[in-house]
Amino acid sequence: MKARIKSLAKEIKSEIIGVRHSIHSNPELSFQEENTAILVENYLQNLGLETHRISGTGVWAMINGELGEGKTIALRADLDALPIQELSDKSYASKNPGVMHACGHDVHASSLLGAAKILCSLKSEFKGSIKLVFQPGEEKLPGGASLLIKEGILNNPKVDAIIGQHVMPFINTGNVGFRKGLYMASTDEIYITINGKGGHGAMPHLCVDPVATAAQVIVSLQQIVSRKAKPILPTVLSFGKINSNGGATNVIPNSVSFEGTLRTLDEQWRAEVKDLIKTLVKSTAEAFGATADVRIENGYPYLKNDESLTSKLWGFANQYMGEEHVEELDIWMAAEDFAYYSQEVPACFYRLGTRNEQKGITSAVHTNTFDIDEDAIEDGCGLMAFLAYSALQE
């Protein structure tokens, strides 16, 4: 079967690259993926599949094996793009100003369509079902995965396991990566406002300086990571935006707002650290004579790859790719809403290598120059199909 799937993947490679170009050149923001959803629906319907909408712009469909009932394996791809202006001279560059597929979701969607085509041609040779899930809104809270779960995507029929594939520009094309257990971090958004008393920069004694207070708060918050977090527990607390709300070189403003992100890999510690942040911010502001407003918006949970499922899929990947082409991934402190699925059913989220230094394809995701080595599309389609087929044989 490996040889057959490899042959089918090679056969449809150019077609799926064309699908990827169509999606890439017409990116749509989170929960606005209407045209992308229509493209997916049309492709699946041309394969003879019945499509269903979920959460507005989500699409799902079933491939039922003809050898009888069995397990249901879900394959998931995401559809949304990012608010980034693409810097590219490629013919398939984004046609939508300020919107770009900078995280590879065009690759995920087109690869899953390719896997669907392969699996449709094999359905007379397996029992059980494949549930194809094309999800909106991965890049925007509350995360499309959480909405799909609430609407029953993991039921009717009940999903026994779910598999997700994501591009990785730090892995060379021709390789893939797996990790068992904890893999990606939870993520929460932090919004803080320090309220002081503004005035002339030359008379700070008459003011309550929110700038100095905010600076002290940001520095003090790092003590939570260095002195409160267990050294063996990865924790990231970063602030990437600060606004003095009207200050100038000689004007102390009335308030300062800043925003950041909290990431970790333990839910109990995640809850504790949010309480520590609120307490420290308010007490530090009070010490400077200011007040503070703290809002922490809960984001995605940590992502855990099921040990048993991932071990099996890792073995199947070794068979399909060759052991020398399957890498062990490090823990990554980025976040993914696929984590919601991993909290509900056995899940495996693996990486597809898309890097090619000889072709100059090295940009990271979420940058305006991101692109992939499209030779990876063949593995993107074939491996996902092989993993699903093999999982059903267990």
The set of catalytic residues is: 300, 374
Question: Cα separation of 347 and 336, whole Å?
Answer: 13
**Residue 244 neighbours by CB under 8 Å, 6+ apart:** 210, 211, 253, 256
The two beta strands, 291-297 and 188-195, are antiparallel
> Among 387, 380, 349, which Cα is nearest to 184's?
349
C-alpha 274 chain-centroid distance: 23
C-alpha 29 chain-centroid distance: 14
Block residue for tokens 């026994």:
160
Contact 316, 387 (CB under 8 A): yes
For 277-300, give the DSSP string.
Answer: HHHHHHHHHHHTT-EEEEEEE---
The two tokens of residue 237 are: 């607390």
DSSP class of 228: I
Beta-bridge partners for 241: 259
For 15-70, give the DSSP string.
Answer: HHHHHHHHHHHS---TT--HHHHHHHHHHHHHTTPPEEEETTTEEEEEEE-TT---
Cα–Cα distance list, 252 to 21, 194, 196, 215 (Å): 51, 13, 9, 14
Question: Cα separation of 257 and 264, whole Å?
Answer: 24
Contact 366, 102 (CB under 8 A): yes
Block residue for tokens 């074939």:
382
